[in-house]
Amino acid sequence: MWLLIGKIAGDVSKCASSDIKIWNSFVDSCENKLESCDQKDILRIVRAIINFYRFYGHEIRTRDHPFVEAVLEQVVKYCEAYNCGELGEISEIFSDLANHNPFVLQGVFTLLSKISITFKLRLAEAIPIDVIKLSLAFSKLGIRDDPLFGTLVNFACNGSNGFRLEDHRILLTSYAIIGYYDEKLLEIVLDGYSKTKNLSSNDLGILSFIFSKLDYKNDRVKQLFYKHKIDSVELFDIPSFCANLYKLDITVPENLVKRIDVDKLSAELFFDTVPLLARSIFPDELIMTKYLEFIKDSTFDDHVKILEYIVNSEFTESMEKLCNMCIKHIFEGISRDNLHALPAEGETFANTSSIDNFQTLQLLIKLPCCWLYDYIEKFGTIFKSVPIKYKSQFITLLFGLYTFFDFAPGSSLIPEIEKHFGTSIQEALSEIIAQENVNRAPYTLCAEVEELLGDKTEVSIL
């Protein structure tokens, strides 16, 4: 009778939804008999488990923990006997179970590691759905296996293996979730959808997620979105779509921003969208209230996004209050653990990928100088810690401070500033630019601002 366990597993899982005793009897009858089942019977039992536990939201009852663990051990044992279709199915099933049942996580990690090796060996026999199921399984559990993904991408990008544009997009989505970047696959998806005349709102939403998650930004990506009516998309998650567009440097239509319900935003979405909310219909008080609600668990990058909102807004009294709340966290973050974020050799601060202290300083120098005076000492600490070859990035900042305090009322403050910087401002500037330009601070600053803004400016000395 026990030899029929695998064959009746499917029928048992269907009947057990109406009578739990049937399932309990089946599980009990499997005790000490699983090792005598072959790989086909084990796979049937795996399918029975997932079919039955769909009725329980995939959460396995404590009573069945030993049974499921025993089945998982048998699957690992027979892993090399399964074909790519079966391996894709098994990985899909156990990734779903592991997401809801931590007790099987370690066993599933072991299983997926073995599946990775076996799948690559048998890749020639795989079809697109097998590759997609395996990739999604790794993605659901947040597992990056770069050698496996590289092999699967090469297989998927081979035009003779039957992958459609939609298959490429699903594959790329699974990799975007865990941050795996592949230029070839990105180009295939971008090329394909650039040639598609009418993209649905769902298509645009998914593509915005993929490209923003992988920080894939170029003119072709912008053109893809601009040629479709992104201002009239019908999506459930408008805030995420807006945040994705913003990360891609795509102008977000005002009517989309107006559809954001700020009161209902999660902390993550609030900080992702807050730079868009400047000069919009949303009152400053609402932004400040949400900031206070989330400030306890906010990160350095979150505070930087608030700073970006402030810089893009009008410099009002209420905005100065918000700035005072935000800026102390900014400097705490810079001083504590962000000085390590120097660009790699050959990079500039403008093209580093993460929000770091230098990009933050580019925002800070756009604030009114009088808002920054209380933090002059902090600027001095940062300045002294920066290698000489990077100090040119501070030209605009230093000139801004020098010009403001030397040519505006309060020039007697300069000695105090220089004490914090550990050197005279003129000496600091002389290290990176010619002395004659130091003496022409307002005019050199004007040139820096013109370069920054791409527009002509005029200097007036009062």
Task: Summarize pLDDT for 131-190 with one digit per residue, the tens.
Answer: 999 999 999 999 999 999 999 999 999 988 899 999 999 999 999 999 999 999 999 999
The pLDDT of residue 364 is above 90: no
Tokens 């590289």, residue located: 150
Please tell me the distance from the alpha carbon of residue 84 to that of residue 104, in angstroms, as a whole number: 22
Comparing 367 with 440, the larger pLDDT belongs to: 367
What is the pLDDT confidence band of residue 333, given thresholds at 50, 70 and 90?
confident
Query: Does residue 128 have a pLDDT over 80?
Result: yes
Token pair in block for residue 303: 């505070």
Query: According to the model, what pLDDT value does residue 354 have?
Result: 36
Give the Cα separation of 391 and 431 in Å (integer): 9
Share of the chain above pLDDT 90, in %: 49
Instruction: Name the helix (H) or strand (E) containing 424.
Output: none
End-to-end CA distance of the chain, in Å? 100
Q: How far apart are CA 45 and CA 68, in angstroms?
A: 10
Question: Higher pLDDT residue, 446 or 84?
Answer: 84
Question: Which pLDDT score, from 0 to 100, does residue 425 have?
Answer: 56
182 φ, ψ to 5°?
A: -140, 115
Tokens representing 189? 């998806």
Q: With 60 as the cut, is the pLDDT of residue 38 above it?
A: yes
Is 435 a residue whose pLDDT tops 70? no
- pLDDT of 54 > 90? The answer is no
379 or 413, higher pLDDT: 379
CA separation for the pair 108, 73 (Å, rounded): 9
Instruction: Band the pLDDT of 33: cuts 50, 70, 90.
Output: confident
Helix (H, G, I), strand (E, B) or coil at 237: coil
DSSP line for 217-234: --HHHHHHHHTS-GGG--
265 C-beta neighbours (distance < 10 Å), count: 19
Cβ neighbours, 10 Å, residue 143: 16
Q: 345: alpha, beta or left, given left = phi > 0 and alpha = psi -120 to 50?
A: beta
Q: Give the three-class secondary structure for 389.
A: helix
Q: How confident is the model at residue 339 (pLDDT cuts 50, 70, 90)?
A: very low
pLDDT digits (tens, 9 = 90+) for 298-313: 988 899 999 999 998 8
> What pLDDT was estimated at residue 330?
83
Confidence of residue 23 (pLDDT cuts 50, 70, 90): confident
| pTM of this structure | 0.78
Q: Comparing 42-46, 96-100, 234-238, which segment has the lowest mean pLDDT?
A: 234-238
Of 328-337, 374-383, 385-394, the poorest mean pLDDT is in 385-394
For residues 186 and 156, what is the distance between their CA atoms, to the nearest angstrom? 12
Given this model, what pLDDT does residue 16 score? 63
Q: Rounded distance, CA 378 to CA 191, Å?
A: 48
Q: What's the CA gap between 395 and 399, in Å, rounded?
A: 6
The token pair at 452 is 């920054």
Instruction: Report the candidate in 57, 61, 214 with the shortest Cα–Cα distance to residue 149.
Output: 214
Q: What is the mean pLDDT of residues 424-444?
A: 60
Residue with tokens 């799948």: 119
Mean pLDDT confidence for 113-134: 96
> For residue 2, what pLDDT band results from cuts at 50, 70 and 90?
very low
User: Residue 395: is its pLDDT beyond 60?
Assistant: no
User: 445 pLDDT band (50/70/90 cuts)?
Assistant: low
| Dihedral sign for Cα atoms in the order 27, 28, 31, 35 | negative
Q: Among 22-31, 376-385, 440-449, which range has the highest average pLDDT? A: 22-31
